[in-house]
Amino acid sequence: MLLNLAVVAGLAARCLSATYDNIEDVPDVDWDFIIVGGGAAGSVLASRLSENSQFNVLLLEAGPTNKNVTDSIVPGLQMGLANTRYDWNYTTVPQQGLNNRSVTVQRGRILGGSTSVNGMVYTRGSSSDYDRFAEYSGDPGWSWDNIQQYLQKQEKFEDPVDNHNITDQYDPSVHSTTGRVPVTLSGFLHPQIDSLAIQASEELGGEFQYNVDMNSGTPLGLGWLQSTIGHDGTRSSAATTYLDDDARARENLHIVTNSRVTRVLPEPDTESLTIRTVEVRASETSNPVNFTASKEVILSGGSIGSPLILMHSGIANAEKLQEFGIKPLLDNRSVGRNLSDHPIFGVSFNVAPNSLDFGHWDNLFSDPALQAEALQVWNKNRTGPYVELTPFGHLAWTRLANNITEKLGDPSSGPNSAHLEFIIGAASPSAYNLFAIIVSPASRGTLTIGSNNPFDEPMINPGFYTSDFDLAAAREAIRSAFAFANAPAFRNVITGVAAPFINVTTDSEIDNILRNITGSGLHPVGTASMSPKGASWGVVDPDLSVKNVTGLRVVDASVMPFVPCAHTQVPTYIIAERAADLIRSAWE
């Protein structure tokens, strides 16, 4: 659905002459850097590298432009982006741990990547997540203390659109107001519903104790949701922020949409493997077009896209490549391995009639007339219920009991890091909901190819519940959800648990339900993991250069060796901000 709003009519006034939707129209330029993928990381790199007017930068995005895509711009319409041309529409292979079900893996196929289609949750993770990155890679530059400068460059905290008093709802001392990506708290409160979560937190304490700001480096406890939504009530994506009109008007930045990179190609007759050329196709049947960089090619296709390009280029497990008729360039058996994702599932509780007050918007999610009215309100002045995704105003981050981690091990990065996340609220007057996410999973999976055709579907196997720890953590999440719903605050609100957890008591009953309802949290990482320089494992060095290759880096979520206890857009922004500095320092 295309946007047709007077409030944004002026956006087309600027001439974005360096933006193309056809690779045949790209001028003959001596490119310094070619960036593959216009998502969170690619947008940051394109913006930061083109700040140097001496660098000619080419950004190639497989999907269409983000301009005027209503469902991406209006936060409340995010659900309309799934299974559209803006989604890669991936599914996993059947998951043994999910009773052989396949689950969907939404990934953004649009300028801005998944930041243009995601749930807009702004979470950084724990300080120990980044300290573990630093320790594992041998590079202290990835530590919590050292990435603070990049959080400052990335975030632009703003007042919510309704201008309500946010004192004690966040800690201003841990936020930046000078970065690129607008972030704020909910701009459409539900006072009665929001107060239930806060009251329950006060009554229960413990794992649900109130945390004024989960982005301080210590997320544990319950606090107010922060989102990549600005004071203007619109989504803050990588495309709208790092690739804003000022950046897109630079003469040295060229952005090409609808252009899919299928392979990277080696330079002939070099002593060591050197790669600075990309093969691009507009479609499976179109002829390839090659572009060459004088300095570097940077893969920013995400945890699925980047390793697939490496595999089809001949950089992966050589034996497996030969099975598909792909000539190996470099035998690296870590490519596509170490896939880690967050399992997610929901618990709903029935509520007494008229006990949840949504006011005028009681049936927003089921009434087309109310939905049309909400969009009309948003169009008029950027207010109303569509300035947020859903009425889920709080998150809680918890750890498992020591007896569980002592028995099954602790995959989290440290004692200030969470094992579980709960997204808390209500989407309708008839149910109160907690969505649970295992944010420190022990399970690992793989990403592989099934043929030598780059346009064929990849084989995505997150390995959900292949670890005993993850299933035990999920089971404990159900029990924690029950404990939260039993807080005195809900005594006259919640009447009991909803299906499928009615009259469920045993571990085996809980486990079977979990296997039937769990899906992907849409936070895949690790498929091109970083490792210490000189290590025999891993895909990239700590500076994100591909091991044993000259001229090629990977900069996106795939380089994270562990999934953080966070929704992954912020960690990916931070990785890209630091990578931009590393690249500039190498060439300026």
Residues with active-site annotation: 523, 567
In this structure, what token pair is assigned to residue 276? 């600075």
Q: What are phi and psi of 291, to 5 degrees?
A: -130, 140
Contact (Cβ atoms closer than 8 angstroms) between residue 477 and residue 436:
yes
CA distances from 98 to 103, 345, 481, 501, 521 (A): 9, 12, 21, 17, 14
Q: Is 120 annotated as a binding residue?
A: yes
CB 317 within 8 A of CB 333: yes
| 379 marked among binding-site residues | no
Integer Cα distance of 293 and 357 in angstroms: 58
- Quote the DSSP letter at residue 2: B
261 marked ligand binding residue: yes
Cα gap 575→484, rounded to integer Å:
35
- Distance, CA of 262 to CA of 267 (rounded, Å): 17
Question: Is residue 351 marked as binding?
Answer: no
Ligand-binding site membership of 119 (annotated): yes
Task: Tell which residue, 270, 301, 291, 278, has the closest CA to residue 56.
Answer: 291
- Give the contacts of 349 (CB within 8 A, at least 6 positions apart): 431, 432, 433, 485, 490, 494, 495, 496, 497, 498
Distance CA 301, CA 539 (A): 15
The number of C-alpha atoms within 13 Å of 84 and in the hemisphere containing its C-beta is 16
Half-sphere exposure of 302 (CA within 13 A, CB side): 26
**What does 288-339 look like in DSSP terms, one character per residue?**
PEEEEEEEEEEE-SHHHHHHHHHHHHTEE-HHHHHHTTPPPSEE-TTTT-SB
| Rounded (5°) CA angle 274-276-279 | 120
3-class DSSP state of 209:
coil
Task: Point out the annotated binding site for FAD.
Answer: 118-121, 261
Task: Point out the annotated binding site.
Answer: 118-121, 261
